[in-house]
Structure 1
Amino acid sequence: MNLHEREAAVRRLLEQEPAPVVPPDLYAEVVRRGKGMLRRGKAVRRLLWLVLLGAVVVFTVWAATARPWVEPPSETTPPLTGW
């Protein structure tokens, strides 16, 4: 299809049927649903940030008490005494 044929096909489609009737309360319903979706998205983001903050706090407390970077004392060789 070249450009003129496509334009003619679109014109035929537009002239063929009248525009669909949109319910008068559709806009209000869409706005209401959109606000609810935005509110839920904000709540989910806040919850995820709180979970992340809790995980950081738990990790920090664990690292401060367990000190995983310190080498554990050797338990296989007795300490040297009496040199």
Structure 2
Amino acid sequence: MNRNQREAAARRIMERTPPPVPPELYAEVVRRGGRMLRRRTAAVRLMWLLLFAATVSFVVWALMARPWVEPPSETTPPLTGW
């Protein structure tokens, strides 16, 4: 089957009327969709909460550790000229 034949077959399939959907399927689809939406909303909220917590913890660490300040020297320079 070459490309033109495949395209023609795909067009024939898409031009047909879709099969009827059973009416009892609608309630199940709505239930699953609502559950997926709630899970996605909860995941997004959890992601934002974790991002906020990481930002706050980084800011607190930076204020306490002050990594931009040069640490004090551990040894004293030699005393000369006494």
Distance 2:50 2:42 in 1: 12
Match of 2:49 in 1: 50
SS of residue paired to 2:43? helix
Distance 1:62 1:79 in 2: 35
Identity of aligned residues (%): 64
What TM-score comes out, normalization by structure 2 length? 0.69
Distance 1:33 1:58 in 2: 37
In structure 2, relative to structure 1, the CA distance for the partners of 1:43 and 1:30 (3 Å cut) is same
In structure 2, relative to structure 1, the CA distance for the partners of 1:65 and 1:20 (3 Å cut) is same
In structure 2, relative to structure 1, the CA distance for the partners of 1:80 and 1:38 (3 Å cut) is farther
Q: What CA deviation, in whole Å up to 9, does each residue of 1:47-71 have, x standing for no partner? A: 0100000001100110000000001
- Tell me which amino acid in the other structure corresponds to 1:48: M
Alignment of structure 1 residues 1-83 onto 2, 5 Å: 1=4, 6=8, 10=12, 14=16, 20-78=19-77
Distance 1:75 1:54 in 2: 35
Distance 2:56 2:78 in 1: 37
Deviation at 1:20, TM superposition (A): 4.0
- Tell me which amino acid in the other structure corresponds to 2:22: P
CA RMSD of aligned residues (A): 3.3
Distance 2:80 2:65 in 1: 29
Distance 2:48 2:78 in 1: 49
Paired residues in the alignment total 75
Distance 1:80 1:32 in 2: 81
In structure 2, relative to structure 1, the CA distance for the partners of 1:39 and 1:80 (3 Å cut) is farther
